[in-house]
Chains A and B, each alone.
Chain A
């Protein structure tokens, strides 16, 4: 497979995953805000912080308002990570690798694009409109994942796509947990109060983890929630599960399951092994924020190593 093509597939999947995550974060936050005491700044600022684009938001907006935050995350063309931009880029990438994907996938990504384009034109930001829109985005992206699973051969392209998806997913899960965990531990709401519970439940729902978490742990406690989102090996959005899947794809691509054959495989293997032997109590006593921040940095490193090892091989010619 062409290096350029592999890179494009990788990013197409990352952008789709990002758009889907944003849509879910926003939807959950919206739902949550309806039941919290009115304070726009407190309710909506963390949402922007999770995405890592707070500085950009501040430079474009004078204050934190629900409609402005939603516009920024969903439609703003000045925000490179807005849903609109992510879907547009995913489509541009899909177009560039049209021969590698199936007709079903292309048409679905294309129709997602028309959905966001229309959303932008109609400014779907009203209370009812926005949630409908977010649901359509989430379902639309999930539909692509399903089509990917059922129409794409398990070839190189599939593995590069999978890599992009799970690395993006691990990054987003770590960011949500990072932003919210801190905030909730230091929130004035009484531990175990209904306000407290709603917020922890919202954190789980932001990464579609509520139902599976309840099944496994029953009770909502901060340390179990952190454990579930970081170290669970069975839940597909936990950081460790994402790393396990990323490693599987890298092994297929590199052809060696023992040791490593390039720097990407080395870095990923090291991070995965660390998480395999980490204990939630150690993580908490060490400092959750430092721990998650380290994961995010290393994920970025892994992403650039993948680029250097597979996509930019002209240098080795």
Chain B
């Protein structure tokens, strides 16, 4: 039986997480490699197959927006983990804490004192023109002054082996259930490695999440619910999973009713007051009286109940401003302004098409750049310059000229790679990293992450809706 070997493994041109440029194994992966090399290809395949089965039986499925309703897919889990050493993680942790702290202060400021505009750190129009800026929140302070309770930033590692923050995701970051369930599955796949290697556990995420939510209420036993758009939502598995793991009620908008600015859920025994809502619904859908009038997903009156301080919403409405890709470019300055510190985790260099000089550069160099729509996510509305046709580039240039505020551009980053099982061998595939942070009495970064992997050879699009898979992420004790 042929054993697994990596003699033909290609590490050229990219940073590989397992091997250095001379094909020597990196220290984090040494023990894992030894284990892997004892396996035959056939055994590895059967371990991978058992994983696919386990995901199906757990019901870890999602619906893709473009597909017909009811078409379910699993997020493919590749069993070769992403392994991160302790010192690397510590830096990442500090960087994320710094960033989230600053961003929270920034959001509070733009809706209240607006010092950041007065001190000319960021143009006022840039914020006020963001579709995610909610005028209704001006002068409002949320419970405990926390806006972004749950963050799932997207990070990448470049060819230089350095982490960069790509997106902050302060609205409703998803994927944490995959982090948790992937770990449960991998513990069955490689039980002996967990014992020997010293992998930090992630299991307390849902406990910490519950604490984070309860922290917002002054009651001793607040009623906490998870608000979902319903079973047809792509992330429904996660909503129900989190509710069940936290022991919280899973509600839809129609299960809630607002009377005299107080939110109740409709139970078989009448109305029960709700104190904290972890909503997995974007701002525009939560309340048809204030936002999207067509929305059937939300609850009329919810926003007013929130403004009156009678219920906590997590994340707070209005945080989407920071997810605007044009605001992203200012984050280094935002951190410096609020904390007086230099940014620990760097941003990717970003060109703002709304600024004339940058726009000219972007148009001239579009074939080398990644162009992104400022209010889009999920890998939609973007152009990957080096992989695009002249025609596509021309289309984007027209779009940029028409609405410069809607576009930014970044240099192409060579995402790092991790060995990944393919049909007949193991090859490097590009990955990103989404760690999760919870902001309660302090900012906790869960020692683990969802590593998303672009399964198609050469692809750098890791989004689940576009052929991405996932890997378990191991943070080591040492």
A and B associate: yes
Assess whether A317 is in contact with B266, with CB atoms less than 8 Å apart: yes
B contact residues around A95 at 8 Å (CB): 59, 231, 236, 240
Which residue of chain A is the closest to B244 with respect to CB atoms?
Answer: A99
State which of A3, A99, A110, A111 has its C-beta within 8 Å of the C-beta of B268.
A3
Please provide the chain B residues from 200 to 244 with a CB less than 8 Å away from any CB of chain A in the complex. 230-231, 236, 240-241, 243-244
* CA–CA, A99 and B268, complex, Å: 17
Interface 1/0s, chain A 108-136, versus B by CB < 8 A?
A: 00110010000000000000000000000
A241 at the interface (CB under 8 A from B): no
Which residue of chain A is the closest to B228 with respect to CB atoms?
Answer: A96
A290 at the interface (CB under 8 A from B): no
Q: A95-B59, A114-B56 are in contact. Are A2 and B249 (CB under 8 A)?
A: yes
A298 at the interface (CB under 8 A from B): no
Interface majority SS (helix, strand, loop, mixed), chain B: mixed
Assess whether A6 is in contact with B268, with CB atoms less than 8 Å apart: yes
Which residue of chain A is the closest to B256 with respect to CB atoms?
Answer: A2
Assess whether B244 is in contact with A2, with CB atoms less than 8 Å apart: no
* CA–CA, A107 and B230, complex, Å: 20
Which residue of chain B is the closest to A92 with respect to CB atoms?
Answer: B231
Q: A1-B268, A96-B231, A156-B268 are in contact. Are A111 and B252 (CB under 8 A)?
A: no
B334 at the interface (CB under 8 A from A): no
* CA–CA, A156 and B270, complex, Å: 14
Assess whether B248 is in contact with A99, with CB atoms less than 8 Å apart: yes
Assess whether B231 is in contact with A110, with CB atoms less than 8 Å apart: no
Which residue of chain B is the closest to A113 with respect to CB atoms?
Answer: B59
Interface 1/0s, chain A 242-257, versus B by CB < 8 A?
A: 0000000000010000
A contact residues around B254 at 8 Å (CB): 4
State which of B58, B269, B271 has its C-beta within 8 Å of the C-beta of A317.
B271
B402 at the interface (CB under 8 A from A): no
Which residue of chain B is the closest to A309 with respect to CB atoms?
Answer: B268
B293, chain A: closest CB distance, angstroms:
21
Size of interface on A: residues with Cβ below 8 Å to B: 25
Assess whether A110 is in contact with B257, with CB atoms less than 8 Å apart: no
Assess whether A313 is in contact with B270, with CB atoms less than 8 Å apart: yes
* CA–CA, A253 and B268, complex, Å: 9
Interface 1/0s, chain B 52-81, versus A by CB < 8 A?
A: 000011110000000000000000000000
B contact residues around A30 at 8 Å (CB): none
Which residue of chain A is the closest to B56 with respect to CB atoms?
Answer: A114
A102, chain B: closest CB distance, angstroms:
9
Assess whether B59 is in contact with A110, with CB atoms less than 8 Å apart: yes
A contact residues around B441 at 8 Å (CB): none
A contact residues around B230 at 8 Å (CB): 96
B contact residues around A106 at 8 Å (CB): 59
* CA–CA, A74 and B211, complex, Å: 47
* CA–CA, A317 and B241, complex, Å: 30
Assess whether A2 is in contact with B59, with CB atoms less than 8 Å apart: no
Interface 1/0s, chain A 79-118, versus B by CB < 8 A?
A: 0000000000000100111110000001100110010000
* CA–CA, A180 and B57, complex, Å: 39
B117, chain A: closest CB distance, angstroms:
44
* CA–CA, A114 and B249, complex, Å: 28
B contact residues around A35 at 8 Å (CB): none
Which residue of chain B is the closest to A109 with respect to CB atoms?
Answer: B59
A contact residues around B240 at 8 Å (CB): 95-96, 98-99
B251 at the interface (CB under 8 A from A): yes
A129, chain B: closest CB distance, angstroms:
22
Assess whether A2 is in contact with B231, with CB atoms less than 8 Å apart: no
B contact residues around A114 at 8 Å (CB): 56-57
* CA–CA, A4 and B57, complex, Å: 25
B contact residues around A235 at 8 Å (CB): none
* CA–CA, A5 and B268, complex, Å: 9
Which residue of chain B is the closest to A94 with respect to CB atoms?
Answer: B59
B contact residues around A156 at 8 Å (CB): 268
B271, chain A: closest CB distance, angstroms:
7
Assess whether B267 is in contact with A99, with CB atoms less than 8 Å apart: no
* CA–CA, A107 and B254, complex, Å: 28
State which of B243, B252, B257, B265 has its C-beta within 8 Å of the C-beta of A99.
B243
B121, chain A: closest CB distance, angstroms:
44
* CA–CA, A200 and B249, complex, Å: 49
B250 at the interface (CB under 8 A from A): yes
B contact residues around A1 at 8 Å (CB): 267-269
Q: A2-B265, A92-B231, A317-B257 are in contact. Are A98 and B250 (CB under 8 A)?
A: yes
* CA–CA, A4 and B241, complex, Å: 18
Assess whether A3 is in contact with B266, with CB atoms less than 8 Å apart: yes
A282 at the interface (CB under 8 A from B): no
Interface 1/0s, chain B 421-456, versus A by CB < 8 A?
A: 000000000000000000000000000000000000
B contact residues around A253 at 8 Å (CB): 268
Interface 1/0s, chain B 17-38, versus A by CB < 8 A?
A: 0000000000000000000000
A55 at the interface (CB under 8 A from B): no
B211, chain A: closest CB distance, angstroms:
18
Please provide the chain B residues from 147 to 200 with a CB less than 8 Å away from any CB of chain A in the complex. none
A contact residues around B271 at 8 Å (CB): 317
B22, chain A: closest CB distance, angstroms:
46
Assess whether B241 is in contact with A98, with CB atoms less than 8 Å apart: yes
Assess whether A2 is in contact with B267, with CB atoms less than 8 Å apart: yes
Which residue of chain A is the closest to B257 with respect to CB atoms?
Answer: A317
A contact residues around B59 at 8 Å (CB): 95, 98, 106-107, 110
Assess whether A111 is in contact with B57, with CB atoms less than 8 Å apart: yes
Please provide the chain A residues from 130 to 178 with a CB less than 8 Å away from any CB of chain B in the complex. 156, 160
B364 at the interface (CB under 8 A from A): no
* CA–CA, A2 and B252, complex, Å: 10
Which residue of chain B is the closest to A314 with respect to CB atoms?
Answer: B266
A264, chain B: closest CB distance, angstroms:
12
B contact residues around A210 at 8 Å (CB): none
Most buried by A among B247, B248, B252, B267: B267
B contact residues around A160 at 8 Å (CB): 268
B contact residues around A111 at 8 Å (CB): 57
B255 at the interface (CB under 8 A from A): yes
B177, chain A: closest CB distance, angstroms:
11
A4, chain B: closest CB distance, angstroms:
6
State which of B58, B248, B250, B266 has its C-beta within 8 Å of the C-beta of A313.
B266
Which residue of chain B is the closest to A157 with respect to CB atoms?
Answer: B268
A117, chain B: closest CB distance, angstroms:
10
A292, chain B: closest CB distance, angstroms:
31
* CA–CA, A227 and B251, complex, Å: 45
B contact residues around A96 at 8 Å (CB): 230-231, 240
11 sampled A-B residue pairs with Cβ under 8 A:
A3-B255, A3-B268, A4-B252, A5-B249, A98-B241, A98-B243, A99-B243, A110-B56, A110-B57, A160-B268, A311-B268
**Other 15 A-B pairs with CB < 8 A, given A4-B254, A99-B250, A160-B268:** A1-B269, A2-B251, A95-B59, A95-B231, A96-B230, A96-B240, A98-B59, A98-B240, A98-B241, A98-B244, A99-B244, A107-B57, A107-B58, A107-B59, A114-B57
Pairs of residues from A and B, 3 with the lowest C-beta to C-beta distance, nearest first = A98-B240, A99-B244, A99-B243
